[in-house]
Amino acid sequence: MKITWSLPGHSGGGAIDEDVLNTPLPADRDYSDEGLCYGHYVSSVERVLTEDGVVDALAGTLCPEDPPRVVAIHVAILKHGHFYHPACMTLLTDEKKYAFVINLAVTPDGGECARGEFALLKTLHPRSEALPCVQLLRSVTVNGQDVVLFIGEWFEGYHEFHQTQKGDGDGVVVWADQHHHYVSRAVEISIYRQAARILTQLYDPLTFTLVQPWHHAAGDFVVNIDGESPEVKLITVRQYLPMGEIEAVDAEDILEGALFFLMLLSIRNRLDRYDGIGDVAWVGDHSVAATIDGFFDAMGAVSDMGPLSGPFVAWIEKYLDLHTEADFQEMARTVVASFNPRASEMETIVAGLSSHVSVFYRVIQNRKK
């Protein structure tokens, strides 16, 4: 089966330029004395794709009852991240094309991350269709080094989004291929609301387990703005850990944990970097209501949580009503105390925290009206 390749600016006729194949892969850390080259990337992927049954298995995930016949494969190397070198792989069949993502790791840390993320996505995908479905995990040895890759669902038409500075104030820009699209405030609010809903769907109120860390600046969330309304996906899950451990969890613990999670979510959902790489951005107050709405969107599907029978939302609303703004200020300080004090965004968080909690409190109060 023919496998063709492309690399922006360095390919033609389905092959990457020969001199580029001998060029080391870009990396922000040293992973060997010599490093691995683009040629090693190509050979690693081709070794996996030419294993017996691999391509047929991938085709089978598309249409289990009648898998399409794959006639060719094209792999486009896209970019180079901290842990992965992602590519878009397209299976060409008799009828149409199907895209998958390949995340390839060439460092020990990257390989460990790939194995862990594959397992997490496999486990969590049934909880939220906003996560990619993963199909295949493989490890191969190239040039004496272990290379780990996994193949998963490609979200066609989804792109990174970030805060940007405009003449009329900050807003969200969507990176759609070579074009940048500024979105309306209503679309921006929907994006942050959906991000909060997705993360809340993945939060476990009984064990306090949540997706962390995640970052808007890293492009963890992507959005499709082609339809009548935006659709948001979460493309990565690095870790899934509890906020804390309590031996015997009671109703008070569950509700306090939910509040801690909501406060944490409301703060983190405001953080980005301008255009993905610039200074720390603190999203406007409108994101606070969007986050709280997204939280309740997801919690609306939860009921009979441990000793709390019935709709979980009703319990949370009653619990929140018991708190004053001063209580929320104290909770916010507790949340921020759990952050890395040396993190680059801490100055921004501390400067905006008191005002943030005031907005948080008003939004909670307005929900009762």
Separation between Cα atoms, residue 32 and residue 122, nearest integer Å = 31
pLDDT(16) > 90? yes
Question: Residues near 93 by Cβ (< 8 Å), separated by ≥ 6?
Answer: 59, 68, 69, 70, 71
Q: Are strands 159-166 and 221-224 parallel, antiparallel or unpaired?
A: antiparallel
3-state helix, strand and coil shares in percent for the chain, rounded to the nearest 5: 40, 30, 35
pLDDT of residue 34: 56
pLDDT tens across 130-165, in order?
999 999 999 999 988 899 999 999 999 999 999 999
pLDDT tens across 42-101, in order?
999 999 999 999 999 999 998 888 889 999 999 999 988 878 999 999 999 988 999 999
CA atoms within 13 A on the CB side of 166: 15
pLDDT of residue 149: 97
Separation between Cα atoms, residue 337 and residue 360, nearest integer Å = 18
- The predicted model gives 14-20 an average pLDDT of 93
pLDDT tens across 160-203, in order?
999 999 888 899 999 987 778 999 999 999 999 999 999 999 99
Question: Residues near 214 by Cβ (< 8 Å), separated by ≥ 6?
Answer: 199, 220, 221, 234, 236, 238, 268
In SS3 terms, 229-241 reads as: CCEEEECCCCCEE
Separation between Cα atoms, residue 316 and residue 11, nearest integer Å = 56
Task: Show the tokens assigned to 38.
Answer: 């683009």
pLDDT(105) > 70? yes
pLDDT of residue 350: 97
Separation between Cα atoms, residue 14 and residue 4, nearest integer Å = 5
Question: Residues near 266 by Cβ (< 8 Å), separated by ≥ 6?
Answer: 288, 291, 292, 356, 360
Closest C-alpha among 251, 254, 195 to residue 223:
195
Residue keyed to tokens 């890759």: 149
For residue 211, the one-letter residue type is V
pLDDT tens across 258-313, in order?
999 999 999 999 999 999 999 999 999 999 999 999 999 999 999 999 999 999 99
pLDDT of residue 294: 98
Question: Residues near 246 by Cβ (< 8 Å), separated by ≥ 6?
Answer: 208, 253
- Give the CA diameter of the chain: 67
Query: Top-level CATH class of 2-153?
Result: alpha beta
Contact (Cβ atoms closer than 8 angstroms) between residue 276 and residue 162: yes
pLDDT averaged over the chain?
Answer: 93
Which of 19-28, 103-112, 329-338 shows the lowest mean pLDDT across its residues? Answer: 19-28
Separation between Cα atoms, residue 42 and residue 153, nearest integer Å = 20
Helix (H) or strand (E) holding 253: helix 251-268
Proportion of the chain above pLDDT 70, given as a percent: 98
Domain with CATH 3.30.200.20 in the chain: 2-153
